[in-house]
Amino acid sequence: MEAEAIAREKVRWGTDEIAQLQKSYDNPRDRLEDIFPNRTWSSIEHECNRLGLCRKSYGRGIGERNRDPVIKEKIAEGKTRKIKKPSINPDLAYFLGSLVGDGSVSKQVSSGISHHVVIFDGGQLYCERIASLLNSLFGLSPRVSRTKSGFRVQINSKKLYEFLTSFCSFGSKVWQVPHCIMQGAKDIKSAFLRGLFDAEGYVHINWNQKRGWWDRDVRILLRNGIAIRQLNEMLQSLGIKSSVRLDGKDAVLYIRRYPDIKSFRNMVGFSPWGLVTKGGHKGEKKTNRLNLILATYGGKHSIYGV
């Protein structure tokens, strides 16, 4: 049977067969196999390809879905939706800071179709804020869905992908602060830092048994030494002194002194939707923890009843 099938594939298509195929190529596979009983499906498939015949999608066959002009038009329409392209402003700077912190920008290929995906994961308030920014900045309506660990904002847009990647490369180990942010005004830098600290920053409170006091600081940990140095430079330009420690693959930025923590709260701070996502204080507002360490700084005041 296998030898017979190979022989059927090698027989050249006659003029009458080609004419019949051109009339009936848009039928489902099983109908075509009835029309050409002496041809294997691969032979029919090959001849359709050779003649440039675009078949409808019936779920089987020769990659018809990607070649059908109607379907291709629908796919292209979805991938190239026009978006607003705002110039740099505090809202866009905040969005970019959040994106390098808690978001992802990727190009995925499935069944020959490219999907340009932007995703944020976080708490409900945070994701609702990101969805609102996507709408106001770009005119897009993202999908907000619940996941096992929280909420997710997702949008599929080629134009948005191209716009965002024009600022910098995305990836936890390779991203850098965009030039327009580094050279921007103070409100632009503050907004970018706020977005990043809302996503990745945290307030560290820990009892130091050896010294007999509470260690209090604001930190951010990244696996990106270049980016952490850029953040340090940005904070210095805002008059906020910070220090950097490189620890293997991790890079940590600290804000430790009371005047600098206070300046951080006044010039950058955390947004009301910036919540603690891990540990015993999960769900607590970061702003509350920041106010707590400022209220108790410099003494052995009790924190959390200890």
Task: Summarize the confidence of residues 191-210 as an average pLDDT.
Answer: 88
> Strand (E) positions, the chain?
103-110, 113-122, 143-146, 151-156, 201-208, 213-222, 243-247, 250-255
Helix (H, G, I), strand (E, B) or coil at 224: coil
pLDDT at 169: 82
pLDDT at 267: 95
pLDDT at 21: 80
CB 103 within 8 A of CB 119: yes
pLDDT at 285: 81
CB atoms within 10 A of CB 15: 7
Higher pLDDT, 34 or 255: 255
CB 271 within 8 A of CB 255: no
pLDDT at 1: 47
For the chain, domains (ranges, CATH) are 2-63 (no CATH), 79-171 (3.10.28.10), 181-296 (3.10.28.10)
pLDDT at 136: 95
pLDDT at 208: 74
Q: Which residue reads 């980016």 in tokens?
A: 227
How far apart, in whole angstroms, are the C-alpha atoms of residue 119 and residue 263?
A: 32
First-to-last CA distance in the chain?
A: 82
Please choose, from the candidates 85, 253, 262, 242, the residue with its C-alpha nearest in 3D space to the C-alpha of residue 163.
85
pLDDT at 131: 92
Using CA atoms, how far residue 194 sits from 54, 182, 234, 269, in Å, is 52, 14, 12, 6
Task: Summarize the confidence of residues 36-54 as an average pLDDT.
Answer: 76
Would the pLDDT of 290 be above 70?
A: yes
Task: Summarize the confidence of residues 152-158 as an average pLDDT.
Answer: 89
pLDDT at 34: 80
Write the secondary structure of the chain as one string of H (helix), E (strand) and C (coil). CHHHHHHHHHCCCCHHHHHHHHHHCCCCHHHHHHHCCCCCHHHHHHHHHHHCCCCCCCCCCCCHHHHCHHHHHHHHHHHCCCCCCCCCCHHHHHHHHHHHHHEEEEEEEECCEEEEEEEEEECHHHHHHHHHHHHHHHCCCCEEEECCCCEEEEEECHHHHHHHHCCCCCCCCCCCCCHHHHCCCHHHHHHHHHHHHHHHEEEEEEEECCCCEEEEEEEEEECCHHHHHHHHHHHHHCCCCCEEEEECCEEEEEECCHHHHHHHHHHCCCCCCCECCCCCCCCCEHHHHHHHHHHHCCCCCCCCCC
pLDDT at 231: 96
pLDDT at 214: 73
How far apart, in whole angstroms, are the C-alpha atoms of residue 305 and residue 81?
A: 54
